[in-house]
Structure formats: C-alpha cells, structure tokens
Structure 1
Amino acid sequence: MTESELNEIERRINNSTKGNWIPMIEGITHDSGSDFIMTNVDNSDDFKNPERGQDIELNGGTKDDIVFIANAKQDIQKLIAEIRKLKNKTE
C-alpha cells in the first residue's frame, strides 16, 4: 500500500464526524429505542455529553453491521498507524 493510498484513507477518516463512534444496541447499551451509532463520545455512558456529535442512524443491516461500522473508524486509524510503523522498520 502506498503512502498516497494511506493518506487518502486517512483523509476520509478526518473528514468524517469527529471523535470516537460507539455502537448503541437496544437491549445491550440502552433499554428502548432504535440501534444507532453515537459519535464524539468516550463510551456508551456519555449520551448526555453536550459535546456529543450527531447520531448516525442506519436503515437495514444487522446489529453486527452497526458494531462493525462504528468500530471501523477507530480500527482503521490503528491499522494505518501500524502499517506506517511497519513500513518505517523496512525502509
């Protein structure tokens, strides 16, 4: 993977809604309402945070899809950092 490709992925992450994304699944993180992704929070207990971002609501998909999408933001940031670290070791 080229540095240009990594930069493009990183640009898309940086342009997305800021902060961590947390999957909110009815029956697990809250008792009523729909499943959604809460943004710009530290954890699922941060729902009253006035700095919280807009929720991301999905139409369709499974609960596992919501968990995957919410965690992808943080996971991809970690993967980019690890790729760059490994590339620097081999250069």
Structure 2
Amino acid sequence: MNSSLSELEFQEMDARTAATQPAPWKSWVEGRDFLGGSNFIQTGQGPDRGEDIEMTGATAADQDFMAAAWQDIPRLIAEVRRLRGLLSRSK
C-alpha cells in the first residue's frame, strides 16, 4: 500500500476546508477560557464571524484539536507541496 498522498487528495482536503465556516477557528472551554456557558468553537472573526460550533461528547482536547485543524491542515498541505517542489527541482 502506498502511503504517499496524491495531489488529488490534497485538492480534496483543500475543498473540504474551503466548504467549512470561515477561519480562524478558536476553541473556547468554559472554566479555562471564560466563566459561564458551554464549550464551543468560534468560527471566523469580525465581519467574517460564522456560527459557533457546539458539541456534545467531546473532551476539551478533542475540541482544541478540531479547532486547530482548520489552521493546521492547510499549512501542512502547503508545506508538503513546498517540499515536493524543492525535491522535484533538485532531481
């Protein structure tokens, strides 16, 4: 089994990211980040603020991971593409 990701797979990841609510996403955990209310992920900010995402059954770590993934995944894809470009130029 080839574990290498194809450009098509990166394009699909980009499309899934683009289809979500606006960035940045920020995890807010009651008792850690504010007092009163429930845990949620804030989407967007200012005029680009989206709907808050509220979950049940997620730990604070789960929620932090999901919120950070919006920022992390596009950066990882860009870095892999950059490194592949460097490798292809060095051949």
TM-score range relative to shorter protein: 0.7 to 0.9
CA-atom RMSD, angstroms?
A: 1.1
Matches within 5 A, 1:26-65: 26-41=30-45, 49=46, 51-65=48-62
In structure 1, the residue matched to 2:69 is 72
Structure 2 Cα separation of the partners of residues 13 and 66 of structure 1: 17
Length-normalised TM-score, structure 1: 0.87
CA shift at 1:51, angstroms?
3.9
Q: Cα deviations across residues 39-61 of structure 1 (Å, max 9, x unaligned)?
A: 002xxxxxxx4542100011112
Residue 7 of structure 1 aligns to a residue whose secondary structure is helix
Task: Find runs of 4+ consecutive structure 1 residues off by over 6 angstroms.
Answer: none
Q: Looking at CA atoms only, which structure, 1 or 2, has the larger radius of gyration?
A: 2
Gaps (5+ residues) in structure 2? none
Gaps (5+ residues) in structure 1? 42-48
Matched length: 84
Q: Identity, % of aligned pairs? A: 39
In structure 1, the residue matched to 2:21 is 17
Length-normalised TM-score, structure 2: 0.87
CA shift at 1:19, angstroms?
1.6
Q: Cα deviations across residues 11-67 of structure 1 (Å, max 9, x unaligned)?
A: 0000010121000011122111110100002xxxxxxx4542100011112010000
